Amino acid sequence: MKCKNDKVMKSVSLLLDDARRPGAVFDLNGMILYENQSFSEHGMLKEITNMKKFMMKTSIDLWDTIVNSDDTANNTCKIDLLLGEEQNLPVHVDIIYVEHAKQVIGLFDIPKKEREVAKKTYLHAFHNSICLMLVVNREGIICDVNNQYTKFFNVNKDYFLGKTVDVVLQLFPDSTESTLRKYIQNVKHYGCAAETLKYEPSFGDERYYRVETFYNSETNMYLIRMNDLTEKMALEQQLAHTGSLSTVGELAASIAHEIRNPMTTLKGFVQLLQISASEDTLKYLAVIDDEISRMESILGEMLVLSKPTSNKKTTFSLEVLVDDMIQVMRPKAMMDGITINRKETDLRDTLVNGDAEKIKQVLLNLFKNSLEAMSSGGALTISITLDKANQLRLDITDTGKGMTRQQLNQIFMPFYTSKPEGTGLGLPFVLKTIEEHGGTVTVESELNQGTVFIVTFPPAIIPSTQKGKEEERLLLY
């Protein structure tokens, strides 16, 4: 900056130019006359033309006292300025009054900007957040995206940067146009909006993301934040399912007594009538007796869901139990012309802790469902392996008609059945029992291709593999 007073410049240049601190020369009214290089290069100080405009009242009083005093021995002091965009950053200044030149030298102590520290903190939080976050300008162009894009979507960073926000909405094709339009309208009108959207990275794999958008009026930018709610929603569905099973149990227990008493009376009278009935009447009584037996069977299945967990737990071999249940199903398999492939396991032990009788009922339900889903010539394949989590895995695979996605979503709901004479209580019992044993039940199915039920059990001991066995043992029925 051009020096406006050569005499002042010569007298203070050594003090200013050799100093590492930003420094400047001011007249008695606080107007700047000269600044050193450090002062010129500091962005915050460029706004100073009259230092008094940035002084607090006490500092102004000190300034006036020094420049109006005749005491040359007391011509220095420390004053405070308030700088920054909002004038909230305190800056300390050592001032020296040069009496013969009627000028003031100011040497500045600039603290590290809180805004710069905050900026680094925000950037670190932005890039390391567990949420996916995108910064979008007023024109709808994506300016930045944090590192979570690979976790949330199977796309690269270039998919987002420099593109319009529409590329984000295109990742959720199942969302209706009205939903997206309302979402955008809420952002424009209220400055924020939130919606839970479904994303399908692959067939059969569903993820649920909570998408929130906020508008910042200071920066004129939008922040889009996504949280993965898939696990939370799965837990909520599991809790809802558990609640429905509990409700069924309470309902079954409450009506059991009321139903069984009249059923017993009806059955007794049917037996009495059969003694003296004619041949034609006996046919009708036989139908009534069969229907009463069916009602008893349905009630029995409902009562199973209402009973508390049994404590009759033993350690048994899952492999032996599976083989026993295959033998039980042999007559039905032979009559229906179905082949059962029992793959021999390479595990040395398949021991499980639990109620063997309940697991038998589980296996019978699953085997029966698989056989009923197939016609003559079908094949049922059963295998026991060890999964990656060291859990015993039982696969029951059929070549039947398969299921639609809607059926898959409802098969474990009480009373849901696709069979004309089904009760819809078999698979809820299977799920309830396996979960009580610490295991899981999952289903994979493709329409007209078949279905596989995958049941896992926590092993009593971690099984080891046994080499030298044949890969597969084929049982034909």
Closest C-alpha to 40, from 28, 54, 24, 52: 24
Nearest-angstrom CA–CA distance, 274 and 285: 7
- Give me the mean pLDDT over the 163-189 stretch: 77
Q: What average pLDDT does the structure give for the chain?
A: 78
Task: Say yes or no: do domains 6-111 and 314-475 share a fold.
Answer: no
Residue 2: its pLDDT value, please?
A: 42
Amino acid at 462: I
Residue 454: its pLDDT value, please?
A: 93
Nearest-angstrom CA–CA distance, 23 and 30: 14
Residue 222: its pLDDT value, please?
A: 87
User: Domain residue spans in the chain?
Assistant: 6-111, 116-228, 234-306, 314-475
Q: What is the pLDDT of residues 340-375, one digit of tens each?
A: 888 888 888 889 988 888 888 889 889 988 888 888
Q: List the CATH code of the domain at 116-228.
A: 3.30.450.20
Q: Within 13 Å and on the Cβ side, how many CA atoms surround 127?
A: 7
Residue 348: its pLDDT value, please?
A: 80
Name which of 20-29, 153-162, 294-303 the model is least confident about.
294-303
Q: Is 223 exposed, middle or buried (CB count within 10 Å of its CB: 0-12, 13-18, 19+)?
A: middle
Nearest-angstrom CA–CA distance, 406 and 91: 68
Q: What is the pLDDT of residues 277-335, one digit of tens each?
A: 888 888 888 888 888 877 776 666 656 555 555 557 788 889 998 988 888 887 788 88
CATH assignment of 314-475, among 3.30.450.20, 3.30.565.10, 3.40.190.10, 3.20.20.60: 3.30.565.10
Q: What is the pLDDT of residues 391-415, one digit of tens each?
A: 899 999 998 888 887 777 777 776 6
Q: List the CATH code of the domain at 6-111.
A: 3.30.450.20
Residue 306: its pLDDT value, please?
A: 54
Residue 1: its pLDDT value, please?
A: 42
